[in-house]
């Protein structure tokens, strides 16, 4: 069993979610709602790991979850 942090971004127009996995660059998937997005992320991670194994490449571990911060930035109006 492996554990990875996923980042979910909700589309305000249709409520769908785009998902990325910081520890596994290149994984981007989407789901029509939160639960669907999470399941799509699990499937994408499994496929990515299977591909790494087939190619004989190492599987990255997430030693420490990435930090997500919100910052305020002054911008010209």
d(CA 77, CA 73): 12
pLDDT digits (tens, 9 = 90+) for 2-53: 999 999 999 999 999 999 999 998 999 999 999 999 999 999 999 999 999 9
| pLDDT band for position 77 (cuts 50, 70, 90) | confident
CA geometry: angle at 62 spanning 19 and 36, to 5°? Answer: 25
User: Tokens 């591909």 label which residue?
Assistant: 51
Q: Within 10 Å of residue 28's Cβ, how many Cβ atoms?
A: 12
Residue 59 C-alpha from the chain's centroid: 16
pLDDT of the residue at 60: 95
């Amino acid at each position: 069993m492996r554990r990875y942090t996923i980042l979910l971004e909700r589309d305000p127009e249709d409520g769908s979610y785009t998902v990325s996995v910081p520890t596994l660059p290149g994984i981007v998937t989407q789901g029509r709602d939160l639960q669907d997005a999470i399941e799509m992320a699990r499937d994408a991670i499994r496929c990515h790991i299977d591909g790494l194994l087939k190619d004989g490449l190492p599987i990255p571990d997430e030693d420490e979850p990435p930090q997500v911060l919100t910052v305020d930035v002054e911008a010209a109006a």
